[in-house]
Amino acid sequence: MFAGQTIKLQSQWPHPMYLKSDKGVRVLFEFNGGPDDVVQSIDPILMTILPTSHFSTSYSLEGQGDFYNYIIVVAQKKHLDGIKMDPQPQTTTFNWRKVDGTDYSWAEMYYSANFYQISYPDSPFGVYSYGVANANGYGSPTAADPAERHDCSTTTCLEDEVCQMKEKNSSTCVKKTAIKEGTCWAMGDPHYRTFDSNYYNFMGSCTYTMAKNCQVDEDHPAFEVNVKNDKLDGSKVTFVGKVIIKVYGYSVTIVRSEFGLVRMNHTLWNLPINLGNGKLKLSQSGMSVVVETDFG
């Protein structure tokens, strides 16, 4: 393959496919939809396939109401018996199938519209969730629990230290120098707190600059966070409809009604996303989208 090339490979259930590359590649799984014995018809599904290096040891997922919900688990053969789901779904065991030519196996399981945690602390594994309903469908890598993230979102440092990202997506604590930190936030309909702890409430329905770097240097790249407020017909109350983040040449749009997805440079992407070897990372955490940069 060459840069920018796309290759389509056919996969026939239940025979797995294993891909390996000496360069970074993006792999998507496409299900074309069609008629089914259980429901009348199923919509197409497109989901990101994670590299094994992005597997985790704990995941949280929630079955969608009015869907037939399933998970696919990919794990190394020597760790198959240790994977647990809490609470246990109706089907309590995994029917493992071998991935030829590798030390991995995979299994599929039905689960109901409840909240579950699936974990095995001793070895990373992969989890994909998908669901089908009449003229509907979804599919996505399952979000790893935040506690399993090895970055500054979960690293605790001493009072005189600050967390910084190292190579290979690991974090470390270093002594504070002249670093100044601040937090601003927006919530509700809508309420704002600025970096200098002032509070503002207003009901404007425009696009507003929430934060941006006005002093760009080697340690502080240019970035901008814009918020688009929407207003319901006949209401004086506004709410955040979109968040637009511009950094490292990317334009990321997070839309209120789109779960597990973001718009990247005007195209629709499934979460999680890792760009520039960790320069920009996006993931799903519950109902929220977490966006992280390597400069904090």
Do residues 112 and 90 make contact, with C-beta atoms less than 8 angstroms apart?
Answer: yes
Q: 172 is written with which tokens?
A: 């470390």
User: Which amino acid makes up residue 161?
Assistant: E
Q: 176 is written with which tokens?
A: 């504070």
Domain positions in the chain are 28-147, 149-180, 182-293
> Between 259 and 151, whose confidence is greater?
259
pLDDT at 26 over 70: yes
pLDDT on residue 252? 95
Do residues 142 and 148 make contact, with C-beta atoms less than 8 angstroms apart?
Answer: no
Do residues 62 and 115 make contact, with C-beta atoms less than 8 angstroms apart?
Answer: yes
CA pair distance 244, 228, nearest whole angstrom: 8
pLDDT tens-digit map of 105-147: 999 888 888 888 888 877 889 999 998 888 888 999 988 876 4
Q: 260 is written with which tokens?
A: 């597990």
Neighbouring residues of 31: CB distance < 8 A, sequence distance ≥ 6: 42, 44, 45, 46, 130, 137, 139
Q: 213 is written with which tokens?
A: 């770097």
Question: Which of 260, 49, 280, 263 is closest to 143 using CA atoms?
Answer: 260
pLDDT on residue 179? 56
pLDDT on residue 177? 62
